[in-house]
Amino acid sequence: MEKRIISWGQLLLLLFMCRIFTLMTFVPFAQGDISVQLLGTAISTAIQAVILIPVVILKDSATDVLLKKCRPLGIAAAVVYLLFFLLYTANGLIHFQNFLSARFFPTADSTLWIGVLLVICVYCGCLGIEALGRSAVVVFWLFIVAVAAMLFASAPSFDTANLYLSPITPKSLFSAVLDDLSRNGEIVALAFLAKHVKEKHRCGAYGLLAAKLLLVEGVMLLICAVLGDFAKLTDYPFLSLGTFGGARFLQRSDSLYLIVWTITAVLNIALFLHISAGLMEEVFTKMKFRTSVAAILVFGTVLIFTLTGLDFDPVYNILCSGYSVIFLTGSLPLTALIISKRKSGEKKNEA
């Protein structure tokens, strides 16, 4: 992948927007009550902070290091990362497709809309990491305005009585932690994109963790406080928060938030297609139109599960679970770091 340069701020905002995209389909009560979710998210963030240490220390991505020091291992790592990103992108697309079908286009063929979205994402992915990073800065402000409007409209409905703590069991806590980890695929992307950053302040990655923690915890609290037990019944609680918190002159404002979700979807998918294309370049050096090939693979995956009616979640939970995130963000970069240090030590000894 050609090395491009963006600033840390742009990278962090880009990954932050990716997290916002997954937040759209976030169901806080899927794994338990609010207390479990809050604690689970906090623990998940702490785990991410630890597993990011090798990424912060490494100057390059794990696959680049492994390819230089031990090529077979590097190729294997690249294939694993590629598989993860393709499945992660497919998962995001399937969820977005379900989201569109459930809330906006119940009768239309959503596969067509997803196909159009993918074409646009291929183009955006081909424009490079700088374009996506700069776009994320603009979209971030749009998101802030949307959240501010949501907060302002929801304020009268805020009821602290809805915020009650339930007993926490280890099993439910463990599930909540894994669930949150599996939604943080952008951490794996950080391990790749850090090499594009021109500054040396890689500790800025922890700023991303802090921002995500604040966002997720804040949104969870808001959903519970405003919607109460209704949040357990709705499929998309974050969207419902926007719907019923509309301004006076609007009846329902969920369609307006579709703008934010769609633009963040474009950024999210374009970013992962771009990363997948870069990995394909490392594995299949002579391949052309890599971004399009990645998009075709993703679309093919989506089509298979959509047309056959199979549930993608079990496949995703196996291949892209929290364990996968820990392995790809922590273990592989740690392995690359150890190999890199060992090779450097051997060279020094030889010298």
Give min distance, CB of 322 to other proteins, in A. Answer: 30
Nearest distance in Å: CB 51, other proteins:
29
Q: Contacts with other proteins in 217-256 (CB under 8 A)?
A: 249-253, 255-256
Does 273 bind other proteins (CB under 8 A)? Our answer is no
Q: Do 12 and 202 meet the contact criterion of CB atoms below 8 Å apart?
A: no
**Residue 145 binds to other proteins (criterion: CB under 8 A):** no
From the CB of 249, what's the least distance to other proteins, in Å? Answer: 6
What are the residues whose beta carbons fall under 8 Å from the beta carbon of 197, sequence distance 6 or more? Answer: 5, 6, 7, 8, 11
What CA–CA distance (Å, rounded) separates 151 from 158? 9
Torsion of CA 146, 149, 154, 158, to 10 degrees: 90
Stretches 24-32, 52-60, 120-128, 217-225: which one binds other proteins (CB under 8 A)?
120-128
The rounded Cα 255 to chain-centroid distance in angstroms is 23
Site residues (CB under 8 A) for other proteins, limited to 83-102: 100
- Asked if 266 contacts 273 with a C-beta cutoff of 8 angstroms, the reply is no
Residues 285-324 that bind other proteins (CB under 8 A): none
CA atoms within 13 A on the CB side of 159: 8
The DSSP code sequence of 189-240 is: HHHHHGGGB-SS-GGGHHHHHHHHHHHHHHHHHHHHHHHGGGGGT-S-HHHH
Q: Which of 20, 181, 267, 298 binds other proteins (CB under 8 A)?
A: 267
Of 11, 20, 258, 339, the one binding other proteins (CB under 8 A) is: 258
Q: Which of 82, 129, 91, 141 is nearest to 263 (CA)?
A: 141
Count the residues of the shown chain that bind other proteins, applying the rule CB under 8 A: 38
31 vs 110, which CB is nearer to other proteins?
110
Q: Considering only residues 66, 86, 197, 263, which one is a binding residue for other proteins as defined by CB under 8 A?
A: 263
Tell me which residues touch other proteins (CB under 8 A): 7, 9-10, 100, 104-105, 108, 113, 116-117, 120, 123-124, 127-128, 130-135, 137-139, 249-253, 255-256, 258-259, 262-263, 266-267, 270
